[in-house]
Structure 1
Amino acid sequence: MKAVQRMLAAGRRPPRHVNVCIRTNHARWHSSTASKSAAVAAAAETAGKSTAGSNVNPQMAFPCLDALESRTSTLLDRTKRQHSGGSGPEPSYTSGGHQTFTSSAPLTLDWGGTLPSYNIAYETWGTLNATASNAILLHTGLSASSHAHSTDSNPAAGWWEKFIGEGPGFALDTSRFFVVCTNVIGGCYGSTGPGSIDPTVTGTEDGNDRRYATRFPIVTLEDMVRAQFALLDGLGVKKLYASVGSSMGGMQSLAAGVLFPERVGRVVSISGCARSHPYSIAMRFVQRQVLMSDPNWRRGNYYTTIPPHIGMKLAREIATVTYRSGPEWELRFSRRRADASQPPALCPDFLIETYLDHAGEKWCLEYDANSLLYISKAMDLFDLSRSVQDAAAARRATKSTNSDAQCTLTLPEQDYTEQPDTDSVESGSSDNVKVNDRVPPQDLVDGLRNLRDTPTLIIGVASDILFPAWQQREIADALRLAGAREVTHVELGEDVSLFGHDTFLLDTENVGGLVGRFLQDDGGSAAV
């Protein structure tokens, strides 16, 4: 167990076979908040002595809340030191050494508004060949940085470390390909986002006033892709060998092929979708609501004070529930408690609870809260249907300013009432037809038509609850209906992977093998 604790402390994932009983949380709570816990215990003892009878129920201890209060106090102290000339309270949100592309050309956005200039953090692996024809653009998930693999300037393992390397045994073979990965616009790992300085605002004494914060305009995944292609222009890459991505990156990978069909040789989309569905929108909405309800969020203006670490922790715990699968958790945790010899507690008690608590703890100060809000909203808005693309193009053509794009949304005066199922009407389905059997709407088929000449690999995972396998089937079906001739669709069953949505981070044999074979095959089809 001590070895596991050391691995967790170092930020490394324990081996899969280890049932992670994260007792470190309990140890941390009691060690970092001993005085608070002692005060609670003393108060409970005093209350017990002053009450008649010998069967008085003692006050329950809440070490998990003590830990949150302790961190708030620490951050408050750092804020005071800042105003005394010390360092600020906010994390640096950096992933280490990376390169930066700066565009002085404005980026006109899908929902109105403009970024007058912007930075994109990126990293590369491999060598661009003389004809600049071997570049692969690797798209990230929601919270990832550009650091997909270790580099000389940042030797730490990247988020896709085992998938990238020299030789045909890797998904992305750097002896053959030039791999580019960016932090997306709206992010907090070096690219322009809500935490960046707004160049249109003059300096003031309070640095918080110069941050975009929630003055940052709404962005879409397509906006992010257009910014990435500006970077490719700067690198001299006129056509990608492939666009590759997983999760949100799988959505961006499809968007890249749709927006720039003449510049993308092939597309790989893993555990992604062609349009966000209600369940994933609902889960991200709840995360945002939890985060925005943290009083320290301050409507986004927290950069010189305490960040909303409690809301961020809870939001991450909710997200983690959607990342992994029920079958895996049954095998990994079952109904075991962290310490069955102790009475039940309202703080993390079952192993699954300590796992979720740990996930929230290690992330709550490692990512910018506003970036989470903006990027998760961009995922919600994603829809490659033809009518949605046309409407966005029309808005961009007006070149509206940020002031034109201000939100005027008000809450409805009446409670929600059931709406007609327009998708069912469009697809000709009825209440008796399962969602898995639905025909993709014609609007979506038309929206994917630009990919009909692009070899495409679509990978889904049966145990994925965030991006369920029917969504990958919808992509493949829509592509075929659009006239695509080279579509490879693979669904990994529970007999192959129980790791749910996170399979794309863990399965180098199946996910990595499929991607590697697809990219090595000049014909564009993977051997399955």
Structure 2
Amino acid sequence: MKAPARIASSLQQASRSVSNPSRLIRSHVAARTPAMPVLTQSPSVQLAFGERQLHSQPPKRSGASSNPAMAFPCLDALETRSATLESQVRSRSESGPEPSYTAGATQIYHCDEPLLLDWGGVLPEFDIAYESWGRMNADRSNVILLHTGLSASSHAHSTAENTQPGWWERFIGPGLALDTDKYHIICTNVLGGCYGSTGPSSIDPADGQRYATRFPILTMEDMVRAQFRLLDSLGVNKLYASVGSSMGGMQSLAAGVLFPDRVGRIVSISGCARSHPYSIAMRHTQRQVLMMDPNWNRGFYYGQVPPHAGMKLAREIATVTYRSGPEWEQRFARRRADPSKPPALCPDFLIETYLDHAGEKFCLTYDPNSLLYVSKAMDLFDLGRDAQRAAEARRERFSREWGVDGAAADGSSSSAAAACSLTLPDKPYEEQPDSLESSSAAEEKDVSPSGGPPADLVEGLAALWNHPVLVMGVASDILFPAWQQREIAEALRHGGNRNVAHYELSEEQSLFGHDTFLLDVKNVGGAIQNFLR
């Protein structure tokens, strides 16, 4: 080829290479490392030569996603229930008010005298729903007051008016733990509840509107005082026994501490003398998911769609604490509801379907605001000396501020009423830098000289120094661990009580966790029956 022709050919080839830099790179790399063509796609090489990143041809779009959308039947069910409830709300607006929460027929005690509460609120009047079994003797000395758990009604056993089985059906009756041939048993729905007793869903007599979250903060002691108003109306001066499990076990102790001369024997099962951080944390979590349901509406949801989704989740959290890991291992293991189907984000494992079912059963049968108030009262529970003295001081101060009829003494709204809310303070809480040190110092100061239970608790339970007391715990209980019942028994014994019977059921005896008190007729029922003889 002649020189001009060769030059023209070289310029033409160079022009083609410059117009296609990738060819230039490939040519250059191939000339040096022909056995490593993969380097032609190296980002570092591409960037070094100022080339755009190489991409394979994009796939042809068919209009469909790579994977099908997942189905969510659990959310479909919630949406369907919301739509149904919305429809019912519209219907009721034409036909009348919504039905009340109910567990069946009860007797109602109405008190016209105001009840001053521990944290400064007042109920100008209130109702207590109750049921009873067995016959009261002539001198009314065979009465047993049965205290309920958090969400239970007064329906502990079937009655002629309500033949449905009660929550302690197998424990009450002739020859059973609470022997109706010997005793007259009374069970109430707690103050703050929704099964006939005055609570947030009740009407405020001051304005004819539902209390909602204008209802004042309650304590276990407030609930017990209301119960003893009922006993006064029935002419019962002294109980043969105060009996309770879970929250009822707390109230049973409180009844003896508040009214030591009016209580004979005390039974406290799977309870505590003061709430501890773990149980407070679990109840806090339940309240949070409930309050964050948009339908909660800061407590003013009556006549509207209730916060059923929040209630369902709250119940599922609670159910996790009510039963035990060992039982679930045996009952559910890692089995799935339908192994033939692919995994799902909705309930899929058997344990998930169990929790889902528990939430479904509960979400429309209990007033959400009652759950908030009653569970908060559990958190505030403390029978220690210092807590009792602080409550007494508050009550003395508030009694001066409120008049006899429940109105403020000066005719205006009491400053105490403003404090009875479920709202946080204006300034968020902050953990203090020295909180751990001060906490440790307080614990050291509170330990009894013998190294036993807290001295504060020993003194707080001193009023029970001469009462026969049965304390029962369950090793598989994670909500009220067995050490909390041991703490009660030890505090009573350090206070001089020589009539304390303490039983702890091992995991071999019961795998049912906290719910053992509802299920174990042999061990729990047998111990109660022997103790009451």
Question: TM-score range with shorter-chain normalisation?
Answer: 0.7 to 0.9
Structure 1 CA distance for aligned equivalents of residues 434 and 321 of structure 2: 26
Structure 2 CA distance for aligned equivalents of residues 368 and 64 of structure 1: 22
Q: 1:423 to 1:158 in 2, by over 3 A?
A: farther
- Residue 82 (structure 2) pairs with residue 66 (structure 1): no
Structure 1 CA distance for aligned equivalents of residues 433 and 346 of structure 2: 37
1:473 to 476, 481, 486: 486
- Residue 148 (structure 2) pairs with residue 140 (structure 1): yes
Structure 1 CA distance for aligned equivalents of residues 391 and 96 of structure 2: 42
Aligned length: 455
Structure 1 CA distance for aligned equivalents of residues 437 and 381 of structure 2: 19
Structure 2 CA distance for aligned equivalents of residues 413 and 517 of structure 1: 49
Q: Which 4+ runs in 1 deviate beyond 3 A?
A: 400-403, 413-418, 421-430
The residue number in structure 2 matching 1:195 is 201
Structure 2 CA distance for aligned equivalents of residues 448 and 300 of structure 1: 36
The residue number in structure 1 matching 2:218 is 219
1:375-420 deviation digits (Å, cap 9, x = unpaired)? 0000000000111111111211222456523237234275676722
* Counterpart amino acid of residue 220 in structure 1: T
Cα deviation, residue 423, structure 1: 5.8
Give runs of aligned pairs for residues 307-318 of structure 1, distance below 5 A.
307-318=306-317
Cα-Cα RMSD: 2.0
Q: 1:416 to 1:264 in 2, by over 3 A?
A: same
1:32-59 deviation digits (Å, cap 9, x = unpaired)? xxxxxxxxxxxxxxxxxx9538882000
The residue number in structure 2 matching 1:350 is 349
Structure 2 CA distance for aligned equivalents of residues 141 and 285 of structure 1: 17
The residue number in structure 2 matching 1:3 is none
* Counterpart amino acid of residue 517 in structure 2: F
Structure 1 CA distance for aligned equivalents of residues 429 and 250 of structure 2: 35
The residue number in structure 2 matching 1:75 is 85
Mapped contact 1:134–1:240 kept (Cα < 8 A): yes
* Counterpart amino acid of residue 83 in structure 2: S
* Counterpart amino acid of residue 416 in structure 2: D
- Residue 101 (structure 2) pairs with residue 101 (structure 1): no
- Residue 527 (structure 2) pairs with residue 518 (structure 1): no
Structure 1 CA distance for aligned equivalents of residues 258 and 431 of structure 2: 39
Greater radius of gyration (CA): 2
1:440 to 453, 458, 474: 453
1:297-321 deviation digits (Å, cap 9, x = unpaired)? 0000000100000000000000000
1:215-271 deviation digits (Å, cap 9, x = unpaired)? 000010000000000100111100000000000000000000100110000100000
The residue number in structure 1 matching 2:100 is 92
Q: 1:108 to 1:197 in 2, by over 3 A?
A: same
- Residue 418 (structure 2) pairs with residue 406 (structure 1): yes
Mapped contact 1:429–1:438 kept (Cα < 8 A): no
The residue number in structure 2 matching 1:493 is 506
Q: Secondary structure at the match of 2:110?
A: strand
The residue number in structure 2 matching 1:506 is 519
* Counterpart amino acid of residue 404 in structure 1: A
Cα deviation, residue 82, structure 1: 2.0
Length-normalised TM-score, structure 2: 0.82
* Counterpart amino acid of residue 359 in structure 1: A
The residue number in structure 2 matching 1:484 is 497
1:153-208 deviation digits (Å, cap 9, x = unpaired)? 000000000000012xx11000000000000000000000000000111x4xxxxx
Structure 1 CA distance for aligned equivalents of residues 531 and 490 of structure 2: 19
- Residue 444 (structure 2) pairs with residue 428 (structure 1): yes
The residue number in structure 2 matching 1:455 is 468
- Residue 280 (structure 2) pairs with residue 281 (structure 1): yes
Structure 2 CA distance for aligned equivalents of residues 153 and 249 of structure 1: 24
The residue number in structure 1 matching 2:248 is 249
* Counterpart amino acid of residue 301 in structure 1: F
* Counterpart amino acid of residue 289 in structure 1: Q
Mapped contact 1:254–1:274 kept (Cα < 8 A): yes
1:87-126 deviation digits (Å, cap 9, x = unpaired)? 54x5521010110001111111000011111000000000
Q: 1:416 to 1:448 in 2, by over 3 A?
A: same
Structure 2 gaps, min length 5? 1-59, 403-413
1:459-488 deviation digits (Å, cap 9, x = unpaired)? 000000000000000000110111111001
The residue number in structure 2 matching 1:116 is 124
* Counterpart amino acid of residue 201 in structure 2: G
